[in-house]
């Protein structure tokens, strides 16, 4: 069979991680982080500098560290993952560019750098995705990767991927929750483990991450600068200063967030050439920082954890282990909130997660890269599973008598499974209501209306298939309708998945 290479990529809002597994006939033979320079366990910053003609870009830590100088000849773009799911193009350097092309530039640059450092040509990979990534965003990410020369062989939710990366380090537990908090999203999976079988009981996520905290802190610090400014300086609101000055303040606040989280000490800040304000020196105190972060943890993170538990019909006491992942999970108030919910003994963290004072000190997992790489590692590992993913629960169409007509079977149907069915109307009506639910009819994934002529003999042909993007592509065709109205297509997300780890190579 020979040696095989499996690549996992976690394309993040703040950082992008790449991980490699290799196998031969004896199983997994090597695993490693593919970093920017080949020597450190650091991810690629998700920032790029595009030339004024929008044809070439620079990426990496150099852009992040020297963006002020580079911005003289390039346009700096960050957090561009958030552009996915947008249908309209983005305006950059006075020209339109699609979100797909923008992400493609970035992935091309990563592919080129990895080839330069490791002599590895990444031709295919598995990508992890945020739980709230819709079907359009997943397809756009795949289109961007393929435009960059990377075939997306599969996708997996970031939080479940984190479990696959950490499973050997936490021991044997039956009910495991993963909380993956990154730069742009908070993703959670609640899993039931039975020997080598992994069942997603619930997946849930919100669009809230470290980038949001950076911006809020930057707005607060700008207000402080305005308060301290000389009378002759024309004061401006944060949103009215130049993009480059806003970026300077946000970048400084990101550095302050990291330093305060690691040291729990006040941060002495120096901001040079800050527009009309000139060079500014000020202190970001631990109390001021926590005054911003703690309410956000209380009002956004804690309710999201509660919702994930509710969807799985579990309570904190029924969870045996909690895996913490993602760059934003280093925040002290976040860790303390998680400990308050579950208890310290249940918390497991990647080995390089910098914890301090009252946070967890004992339970750590050697994930060979830790917090920033667990999702990429899990995505790579998922490719070693012979059967890939299956639906955890059956999916069907809710009928007029409240029964559920099955489309796909749980723990049996996965990528590539397809079905073709024909339905008819039960009454004279001008529309047919389709409700897609789980096999018990207790959870609705989607509902939509198909226009009809209203004849009882009218046939509605339904074609459905499970895609590699962990979506269900569904098409309803009514031959009696005009070409404009006869086809209705939907792509459904939000289903839970099942993985059989006994089939790992």
Q: Please return the burial class of 383, using the count of CB atoms within 10 Å of its CB with bins 0-12, 13-18 and 19+.
A: buried
Q: Please, which pLDDT band fits residue 256 given cuts at 50, 70 and 90?
A: very high
Q: Cα separations (Å) of 357 from 180, 259, 349?
A: 22, 14, 15
Structural contact between residues 425 and 449, judged by C-beta atoms closer than 8 angstroms: no
| Token output for 465 | 């298939």
User: In CATH, what number does 4-209+299-382 get?
Assistant: 3.30.420.40
What is the mean pLDDT of the segment spanning 63-85?
A: 83
Mean pLDDT over 55-84 rounds to 83
The string of pLDDT tens digits covering residues 267-278 is: 998 888 888 888
- Judged against a pLDDT cut of 90, whether residue 491 lies above it is answered with yes
Average pLDDT over residues 280-299: 92
pLDDT in tens, 119-148: 999 999 999 999 989 999 999 999 999 999
Residues 389-503: name the CATH superfamily.
Answer: Substrate Binding Domain Of DNAk; Chain A, domain 1 (2.60.34.10)
- ∠ CA 127-131-132, nearest 5°, is 115
| pLDDT value, residue 215 | 93
Q: Which pLDDT score, from 0 to 100, does residue 93 have? A: 82
Evaluate if residue 402 carries a pLDDT over 70: yes
The structure tokens listed for 346 are 């249940």
Looking at residue 477, what is its pLDDT?
A: 85
Select the more confidently predicted residue: 39 or 91: 91
Residue 351: per-residue pLDDT: 56
What's the pLDDT score for residue 463? Answer: 94
Give pLDDT, residue 456. Answer: 63
Closest listed residue to residue 31, CA positions, set 380, 386, 323 = 380
Mean local confidence (pLDDT), 222-228: 91
Q: What is the pLDDT of residue 370?
A: 57
Share of the chain above pLDDT 90, in %: 53
pLDDT of res. 486: 62
Domain residue extents for the chain: 4-209+299-382, 210-292, 389-503
Q: State how far the Cα of 374 lies from the Cα of 162, in Å rounded to an integer.
A: 5
pLDDT in tens, 469-478: 999 999 988 8
Q: How would CATH label the architecture of 210-292?
A: Alpha-Beta Complex (3.90)
Question: Looking at 30-44, 104-118, 310-324, 329-343, which range is the least confident one?
Answer: 30-44
Q: What is the mean pLDDT of residues 186-193?
A: 95
Judged by DSSP in three states, 13 sits in: coil
Return the number of other C-beta atoms located less than 10 Å from residue 431's C-beta.
12
Share of the chain above pLDDT 70, in %: 92
Full DSSP string of 367-413: -SSGGGTHHHHHHHHHTTBTT-EEESS-EEEE-TTS-EEEEE-TTT-
């Amino acid at each position: 069979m020979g040696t095989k290479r499996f690549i996992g990529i976690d394309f993040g809002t703040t950082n992008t991680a790449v991980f490699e597994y290799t196998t031969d006939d004896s199983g997994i033979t090597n695993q490693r982080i593919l970093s920017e320079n080949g020597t450190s366990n650091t991810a690629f910053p998700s920032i790029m500098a595009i030339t004024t003609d929008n044809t070439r870009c620079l990426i990496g830590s150099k852009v992040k560290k020297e963006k002020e100088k580079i911005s003289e000849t390039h346009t700096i773009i960050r957090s561009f993952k958030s552009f996915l799911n947008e249908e309209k193009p983005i305006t950059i350097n006075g020209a339109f560019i699609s979100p797909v092309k923008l992400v493609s530039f970035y992935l091309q640059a990563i592919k080129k750098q990895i080839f330069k450092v490791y002599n590895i040509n990444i031709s295919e990979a598995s990508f992890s995705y945020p739980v709230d990534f819709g079907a359009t965003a997943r397809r756009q990410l795949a289109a961007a990767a393929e435009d960059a020369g990377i075939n997306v062989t599969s996708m997996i939710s970031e939080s479940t991927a984190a479990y696959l990366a950490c499973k050997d380090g936490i021991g044997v537990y039956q009910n495991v929750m993963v909380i993956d908090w990154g730069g742009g999203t908070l993703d959670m999976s609640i899993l039931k483990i039975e020997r080598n079988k992994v069942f997603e009981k619930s997946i849930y996520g919100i669009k809230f991450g470290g980038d949001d905290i950076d911006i809020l802190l930057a707005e607060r610090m700008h207000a402080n600068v305005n308060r301290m400014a000389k009378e002759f300086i024309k004061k401006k609101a944060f949103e009215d200063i130049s993009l480059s000055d806003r970026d300077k303040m946000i970048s400084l606040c990101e550095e302050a967030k990291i330093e305060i989280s690691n040291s729990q000490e006040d941060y002495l800040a120096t901001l040079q050439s800050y527009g009309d304000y000139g060079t500014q020196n000020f202190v970001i105190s631990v109390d001021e920082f926590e005054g911003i972060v703690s309410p956000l943890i209380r009002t956004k993170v804690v309710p999201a954890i509660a919702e994930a538990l509710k969807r799985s019909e579990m309570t904190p006491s029924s969870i045996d282990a909690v895996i913490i992942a993602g760059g934003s999970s280093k925040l002290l108030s976040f860790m303390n909130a998680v400990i308050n919910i579950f208890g310290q003994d249940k918390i497991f963290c990647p080995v390089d997660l910098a914890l301090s004072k009252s946070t967890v000190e004992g339970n750590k997992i050697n994930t060979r890269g830790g917090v920033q790489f667990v999702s990429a590692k899990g995505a790579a590992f998922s490719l070693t599973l012979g059967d890939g993913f299956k639906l955890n629960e059956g999916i069907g169409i809710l009928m007029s008598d409240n029964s559920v007509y099955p489309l796909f079977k749980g723990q049996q149907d996965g990528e590539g499974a397809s079905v073709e069915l024909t339905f008819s109307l039960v009454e004279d009506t001008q529309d047919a209501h389709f409700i897609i639910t789980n096999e018990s009819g207790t959870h609705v994934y989607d509902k939509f209306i198909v226009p009809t002529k209203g004849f009882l003999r009218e046939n509605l042909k339904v074609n459905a298939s499970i895609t590699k993007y962990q979506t269900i592509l569904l098409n309803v065709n009514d031959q009696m309708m005009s070409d404009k109205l006869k086809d209705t297509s939907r792509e459904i997300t939000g289903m839970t998945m099942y993985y059989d780890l006994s089939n790992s190579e």
